[in-house]
Structure 1
Amino acid sequence: MLERNQLKSRTQVTFVLPEETPAGPVSVVGDFNQWNPAAHPLKPRGDGTRAAHVSLPSHSSHSFRYLAAGDYWFDDEQADLHDGINGRIHT
């Protein structure tokens, strides 16, 4: 799930997954963090989900995916668009 919060010239995007699906650590990776899995790991929230926050320029478009333990890559069903390999988000 993707949550967005407009902040002046930036948009805070929160990438949200269920706490245990998939099991183990998960990171959101994309062109906004040079596909670095250490940059935005998802952290548990009190509501049974885990999330990572990323501040992106408003009116921009970015590719992203999730990377879980065991080199398991997967997409977000709620991405604005899928380009065949990656999800895309528009801010």
Structure 2
Amino acid sequence: MRESPPGEPGFLAAREQFSTRILAASGNPLFSQMAPLVCGALAVSGRPALQRKQDWPQTTSLYERLADVTRRAEANETQAAALALIDHT
């Protein structure tokens, strides 16, 4: 996502791919099945933090944190990272 900030070609696809992978990494089949709904919601959301270029470095950092703790399968930290990203955006 760092290479495709908001407004750039590929941003929506990168955000959808990231979200789908996070949901799959949860190991919860219900979350994986919800991926199309989540991606649909992302496609129509115009969150302010995703539109302000000055916020993009922090937003990217929050996405990276979420990916890191998810990769390490740290459930509590993953939840906290996801909530921090939601709160920011």
- Superposition TM-score, scaled by structure 1 size: 0.29
Larger fraction in strand: 1
The TM-score normalised by the length of structure 2 is 0.29
